[in-house]
Structures are given as C-alpha cells and as structure tokens.
Amino acid sequence: MNLSSAPGFDELFDPVFLDRVNALTLRIAAAQKGGRLADQRTSARGQGSDFADFKPYVAGDDLRAIDWNIYRRLGKAFVRVFEERQDLPVYILLDVSRSMFVETPPRIGPAMRTVLALAAVTLGQQDAVSLMTVSDDMGTAMKNVSGKGGITRVAQTLADQVAQGRSALAGAVARLASMRLRRGLVILVSDFFDDDGLEGVLAALEMLPHRLLLVQMVRASDADPTLLPDLDGDVVIEDGERDGAGMTVTPELIARYRAAYRDFTDSLDAFARQRGATLVRMDADGDVLDQLVPVLTAGSVLP
C-alpha cells in the first residue's frame, strides 16, 4: 500500500509558524519540584520573586531574607520564603502508526505541526521536552531537550519520522507509565484508533502519574461519513494496518458507524473529564495554530 509521507524539515520549520507560536504559553497548576529553575510554579521554596510564607530564622538562613519589620514588632527574627519556579518536564507522544499516514493528505502533517507548536511553546518557557513515537512500540526520539534552540532539533526529529507499523497506543502508554519519570505533562497526539480498542488506551492513560493533554487528530468525515464522495456501493475500507474490510455501504451501516464513532468520542470526552485531562480535537483539515490558540492563550490550560 502506498502511504503518504510526513512533511519535510523545511515544511515544518516555518518561521511564520514559529512566530505565531511565541504568543502561546503552556502552564500547569503546579509542576513537581525537583527540577531546575524555570518558569513553572512548583511547591518548592527557595529562590524566586513570588512571596510564599514566613518562617522563623535559623542559623544559616540568608540574612537578606529577614523581615525586619516583624522583628521590630515582635522581637523575633522571621525570614521571608519564596516560591521557587522550576521547569516542567513535557513528554510528547506522537502516533506514527500507518493509520496516520494512510489518507491523502495524511493526518501526520497537522499532527507534527501540533507537536512542533507545543514543543516550541515548551522550549520557549525553558521547559524540557522529551519526544517519543508510538507505533508497534514506543520509541524515544528525543530526551529532555530544553532551551529555545532545541526547536530546530525537534523539527529535524519530526521530519525524520516515517510510518511504522500498527497503532499500539495502550502498550506504549503503559510502558511510559512504568518508567520512573519526573512527573510532568504528557501530550499524546494521535487518532486514538488502537488495535486494542479505546478502552485499553484509556486504561493505560489512567495509569499515568502525569498531567495529560490529549490531541485527537480528526476530520469532519469521521463524524459524518457521507462527506466522503466515494463511500457508496461496494467498498473496501483499509487503514494501512490491517486487511481491508469489504462491505456494502447502506444507510443502516452508516447509522451503525455513526453510533460507533459517537461512542468512541463520548468515551474519550468522559475520560478527559474524569481524569482532569485536556482534550483537543484537532481538525486535520484546519489550521493547527488557530485551533491551539483558544486552548493555550488562556495561560494555564491544565488544572
């Protein structure tokens, strides 16, 4: 089967696109402490500009932190403690299974632009980005890249991706959950059509100790298959990952499909609500940033 190719480096590394990304930020309520100093709010106390609390002075504390007004009123020395901002580890999982490449144009293009945009935002705020690919198995393409200069590396890594095998999201996510990683944000960019079904994927996602940002790559014809001009009569539908399924398209079959798709999306929505995750439905035929901006410009998009 002929599969479409992923966008090349020049296509991805578009300065206009990256300029538009600069206006976006990615915040979570509180990153896990233990990271290096950065912009994300944490529970760590130390250096910073955001006042957090007072504590009795003990030997060794920085004398510059003593609040002399309190000492004058109470006669006891208290020092001011500040909230220490650290970096946010962001783990981006990109689905590169064959189903992402099967259409013309393929969904992998907007999916990669989404990843690039999120990586650029992350790197722009001094957070660390790890990029992993998901197909038959999970592969680590890039680990703990930080700094704005890393965006070039991210773009190159994305451009090097090719279609690989079948979707095994559940296994890949379960493997990620088993890794002892610093808690951060997991961004999963995929069509979520997994061989084991959505239930397996959601069960694996439930095991993740990280915050979740789910980006579902969709098209309008997914929900309304009548938009497909060739969907009529006897057809063979294939996703590049399994043998084509032959069927005769009837109104009854279309109704059944719509019900199945509705169940699929409802399950994903319910999981996101229940898990406190952010779910973004990215229309593969629309502009990526136009769809990301409403989500990211509000600042802290993740609870």
Partner 1 sequence: MSFTEFGWPLTLAGMIALAGIVFLLQQLRARTRVLRLPTAGLWVQALRDTPVRVLGGRFRYWLAYLLILAIALLLWLAAAHPQLVSAASGGGLQCFYLDNAALMTGGGDLARAKRALLADVRATPADRREVILGDAVGTRLLAPGESVSLLSRRLDMVSAETRPSTFATWGATADAATVHYYGAWGAARGAPQSARLRYGYLADPVPDNRGIVALGVTPAASGQVGKADLLVTVAAAHRPLPTAADLRWTENGRRITPSRVEALGDGRFLARDVDAAGEMVGVALAQGDGFAADAKAAIRVADRRPIKVALLDGTPPAVRAAVTADPSLTVVPAAEAQVVVGNPVAVRVAGRPGLMLSDASAQTFTFAGPDESQRGPLAARLDALGLAQLDAGALADALHRPVGVDVRDARQRRITAWRTIFAPASPFVQSPAMPVFVSRSIHWLGQRQPWHSFVQVGDGGDPLTASLDKDETAVSLTDRATTLAAADTSAHPAVVNGAGVWPSDLPFLLLLLAAGVLLAVEWWLVQRRVIP
Closest-CA residue to 157 (of 127, 213, 115)? 115
Q: Nearest distance from residue 142's CB to partner 1, in Å?
A: 25
Q: What residues contact 194, with CB distance under 8 A and at least 6 apart?
A: 167, 168, 169, 170, 200, 201
> Which of the residues 264 through 293 are near partner 1 (CB under 8 A)?
264
x/- contact string, 72-101, with partner 1 (CB under 8 A)?
A: ---------------------------xx-
List the one residue from 253, 269, 290, 294 that touches partner 1 (CB under 8 A): 253
Using rule CB under 8 A, residue 165 touches partner 1: no
Distance of CA 164 to the CA centre of its chain: 20
Both tokens of residue 122? 């992350």
Tokens describing residue 143: 């680990």
Contact 125/160 with Cβ under 8 angstroms?
no
Q: Which is nearer to partner 1, 59 or 260 (CB)?
A: 260
Q: Does 256 bind partner 1 (CB under 8 A)?
A: yes
Q: Provide the mask over 111-140, with x wherever binding to partner 1 is found by CB under 8 A and - wherever it is not.
A: ------------------------------
Nearer to partner 1, 87 or 241 (CB): 241
Binding characters for partner 1, 225-244, by CB under 8 A (x = yes): x--x-xxxxxxxxxxxxx-x
Residue 1 or 298: the one with the smaller Cβ distance to partner 1 is 1
Q: Are the C-beta atoms of 122 and 239 separated by less than 8 Å?
A: no
# of chain residues touching partner 1 (CB under 8 A): 42
User: Which residue number, 82 or 261, has a Cβ lying nearer to partner 1?
Assistant: 261
Kindly report whether the peptide bond that precedes residue 56 is cis, defined as omega within 30 degrees of 0. no
Segment lying near partner 1 (by CB under 8 A), choices 17-25, 132-140, 189-197, 203-211: 189-197
Q: How far is the CB of 256 from partner 1 (least distance, A)?
A: 4
Interface segment toward partner 1; rule CB under 8 A; list 7-15, 157-165, 170-178, 219-227:
219-227
Which whole-number Å values give the CA distances from 254 to 159, 192, 217, 228, in the listed order?
Answer: 36, 20, 21, 12
Tokens (6 digits) for 202: 């959601």
How near is the Cβ of 112 to partner 1 at its closest, in Å?
16
What is the sign, positive or negative, of the torsion defined by CA atoms of 139, 169, 283, 243?
A: positive
| Dihedral in degrees, nearest 10, Cα atoms 268, 144, 25, 82 | 110
Q: With helix as H, strand as E and coil as C, how does 209-225 read?
A: CCEEEEEEEECHHHHCH
Distance CA 56, CA 77 (A): 6
65 binds partner 1 (CB under 8 A): no
Contacting positions for partner 1 (CB under 8 A): 1, 99-100, 102-104, 107, 191, 193, 195, 221-222, 225, 228, 230-242, 244-248, 250, 252-254, 256-257, 259-261, 264
